[in-house]
Structure 1
């Protein structure tokens, strides 16, 4: 597969989906191209040895990289940040047009503006794209103080909804983020949760037989129980809690807090520590990933903290993965998904964000534990990382997402939807009188209402109300319950089913965009939870009035085969195939081939069949 990675940040800048990710995809047999800018993050100045050019091509360990110019900046100025984001978006959008067409594009967010090249490729070259959301806009813009004008924030929120809708698939880094996007209108069935990973090759360390790091203590670290925070020193990190906890523990010379990094809050925090006489707080300059490993390995506990904002409850700070990989106990001061992850992994202790007393208490608890108990935290964290958050497992998950997005080409879907709308409108106009006649006949044979309405899963599993002509009466047994379908199916209803005339009202669903003429049949809502991961691909397109499974046997095809045919249809989606299936459907309906008017008489419901299989296994 040809994969284009679009990211404003890329190696040698610190980023989580950079060269390691690209190399892993190459190792898996994919052709990978990267579109990025010239390195300037996080300092906002061009890295030493680099010169801004119109473009620069590189090949690094099998990965082809195209760098395009941008305005380097990363200070607190909103104007400069906008120029930084906009300049990359525009130059990358132009650069993307000169690259070979990929099968799928991958966009790393933030910033949201990095999606512009993918939108251009979707429009000009019909390229589907996967949008990887690392933080939520406008939430993070407001939380970090970058934007405070509510009119601007509302405009950004509107733009993000449009962007999520345009993306073929959306990837988020936590379950809570998927739920939040779902409440904002992005179907959860369109969104995949894929955890970030750490810089494994750079953070690799010597380990004992249990997997715990064996480290030589760097001279910069104090000879005390050391709690280390490493990363950006900004307002979102809320690191005053560290100074407050150090003040609570002032009388305990056996505890030290080490803060490694740089950022907008660095000078103020340092001055505050001096003013308060906190000798147990030590600041070290920012380290590249290749040099931070020994400090993390030699620390007794590793601290993660963010201020108590709703946004951060659905965030898993990227340093979490590095800490788990290192195999040291984690002190997690982030509410929501991040704390739940640490507790699930059994990798350390959690505390409420901003609560210095709770942080001081957790430090005391860790310090009084035996070395073996602390080592057990690290071992469990490392094991959890290897199984669920490693580069290997994450790249495999992205590979599945890319494969899922690949056939869903934007223009192909747009033309398909246009044909559905035009065709259904024309069919309803031509068939208006026959449909009205059938409605009258159904009313006389079955009474009112003449339409059968039922909630079914549409695209991405989102429910819609499907309409058909009624084919069964409401006969009930002595206990008051409806009789089985076969006993309620009327002679007139059997005629409607065998001729597929009961489907005519579904033309309204096609016109509204709930359904397509061709696609996987919309099954019952309760069946969805029984789909395998592969079978869920059938939900990536609108359900159809007819489909490959119906042409291949209608109701006589076993469930496994029927769902496999649905997935095959999605993976081989094409307009030419749709036309062939429509012609084949008309031929089968005319011959009444493969008709079973009472499907339950010859096969189990999907949920019953899968439940029985699960019980047998």
Structure 2
């Protein structure tokens, strides 16, 4: 039985796709150990039941989990920096004493890329193949999130990234544009080892009938009777956004668009999730005087999202207006498509390309509230059959391009190649 050591700063109960990837490897007969941190994302504090002296080792769905100390990210830039550096520092000492024997190392890289230093050291020490799955490009992501452009800071990060890429046997990225970004660096990475491997959506993301959805949300959102009532109201046109509510999502456009649609009484925005920008977004909604147009639902288990989407009429994606996000295919795009949703996006680049190829919705320029409001109004005015057809196109594109079994089979060929 081949043994895979997974390095990722975030893991169950934090909600990232690496959770499902590991469970799939277990089903396929691999022995999987995950080295991760103490869960604190996105709320910035340790999850209840976890801590420096609580649940540092556990097994979940057959996956062995080792949690090393880190500083929770909090809600300040300093907290995030401390969080980013505390995990690899802990990993340095873990590497000295670790007795785990793995056949492969797989690094699931969402920010911070500093976490990958742990995997590089382990693979070099034990002389095993090293795989990297890039979700966030560095240093580009650092520049966008922090606003830092100073080469005295960005330069060392750039050199760290070069060393990580050079140490990897294979590099997988989530969009064709990321392939160009990685191979086109000043210290170029050979094209032969960089592969486009799109994210899939877990199998529970699927088209759900409204009757089932109603039953499930009544059970899971039992204490939130206002949200249940709003979701079950068939007289309103509901646009859903689910997932991390961060600054990078550019969600300030929603209250701006809502103000332009105030006279249309049947438009609602359903916002499901948590994140660093949520309190600011709620403040902007209040200041805009459009609270009655928003249904705010706290972070839910991923399994409930298809039910919530089933009671909505369209799903929404947006970004900050930066070049990096034109290269990005967000994970929620696959999730929305798997659920057969018409999609409205404030996006360009890869996201726009896919939505247009699939003919499953509409894209508007990033930051243009007037265009977004007009697009929401246009899609709300469509017949149910027209919107249904957009949803069918969404699911069909997902089946053809982002199906889990197809993509996991593809990756497994790389594992078998190393035997």
Q: Which has the higher contact order (CA 8 A, sep 6+)?
A: 2
RMSD in angstroms over aligned alpha carbons? 2.2
Q: Which residue of 2 aligns with 1:15?
A: 16
Q: Secondary structure at the match of 2:189?
A: coil
Q: State the TM-score, normalized to the length of structure 1.
A: 0.61
Do the aligned partners of residues 34 and 377 (structure 1) sit closer, same or farther apart at CA in structure 2, a change above 3 Å counting? Answer: same
Contact 2:117/2:164, CA 8 A, preserved across alignment: no
Q: Tell me how far apart the structure 2 counterparts of residues 394 and 117 of structure 1 sit (CA, whole Å).
A: 26
1:319 aligns with 2:332: yes
Q: Deviations over 1:541-584 (max 9, x none)?
A: xxxxxxxxxxxxxxxxxxxxxxxxxxxxxxxxxxxxxxxxxxxx
Cα distance in structure 1, aligned partners of 2:368 and 2:212: 32
Unmatched runs of 5 consecutive residues or more in structure 2:
218-227
Which residue of structure 2 lines up, in the alignment, with residue 189 of structure 1? 192
Listed as ranges, the matches of 1:569-588 within 5 Å are none
Is the CA contact (8 Å cut-off) linking 2:241 and 2:272 kept in structure 1? Answer: yes
Give the equivalent residue in structure 2 for 1:349. Answer: 362
Q: For 2:359 and 2:269, how far apart are their aligned partners in 1?
A: 23
Shift of 1:75: 2.3
> Match of 2:46?
46
Q: CA deviation at 1:327?
A: 1.1
Name the structure 1 match of 2:229: 219
Contact map agreement 1:2 1:31 (CA 8 A) in 2: yes
Deviation by residue 1:127-186 (Cα, 9 ceiling, x = unmatched): 221111101111111111264533211221222122111111111100011012121112
When residues 144 and 395 of structure 1 are mapped into structure 2, their CA distance, relative to the original with a 3 A threshold, is same
Q: Displacement, 1:118?
A: 1.4
Aligned position for 1:164: 165
Match of 2:310 in 1: 297
Match of 1:328 among 341, 348, 355: 341
User: Structure 1: which 4+ aligned runs deviate by more than 4 Å?
Assistant: none
Distance 1:160 1:347 in 2: 36
Distance in 1 (alpha carbons) for counterparts of 2:297 and 2:56: 34
State the distance in 2 between where 1:54 and 1:148 align.
Answer: 39
Say which one has the larger Rg.
1
Kept after mapping to 2: 8 A contact 1:205/1:214: no
State which of 191, 205, 208 in structure 2 corresponds to 1:206: 208
> Normalised by the size of structure 2, how large is the TM-score?
0.88
Partner in structure 1 of residue 140 of structure 2: 139
Asked if the contact 2:175–2:196 (Cα under 8 Å) also holds between the matched residues in 1, the reply is yes
Q: What whole-Å deviation, never above 9, does each CA across 1:188-208 have from its counterpart, x for those lacking one?
A: 22111111123433x456349
Contact 1:53 1:69 in 2 (8 A): no
- On the 8 A contact 1:54/1:69 being kept in 2, the answer is no
Residues 1:180 and 2:189 aligned together: no
d(CA) in 1 for partners of 2:198, 2:207: 22
Whole-Å separation in 1 of the counterparts to 2:54 and 2:122:
20
- Structure 1, unaligned stretches of length 5 or more? 408-617
Asked if the contact 2:209/2:310 (under 8 Å) is kept, the reply is no
The CA distance in 2 between the partners of 1:280 and 1:206, in whole Å, is 25
Cα–Cα, structure 1 residues 74 and 396, in superposed 2: closer, same or farther, change >3 Å? farther
User: Measured at CA, do residues 141 and 104 of structure 1 come closer, stay the same or move farther in structure 2, by a change above 3 Å?
Assistant: same
Give secondary structure in 2 for the equivalent of 1:13.
coil
Q: Tell me what 1:235 maps to.
A: 247
For each residue in 1:200-239, what CA deviation from the matched residue of structure 2 results, as whole angstroms up to 9, or x when unmatched? Answer: 33x456349xxxx964383243541011112222221111
Determine helix, strand or coil for the equivalent of 1:75.
coil
What corresponds to 1:122 in structure 2? Answer: 123
How far off is 1:55 after superposition? Answer: 7.8
Match of 1:373 in 2: 386
3-state secondary structure, aligned to 2:325: helix
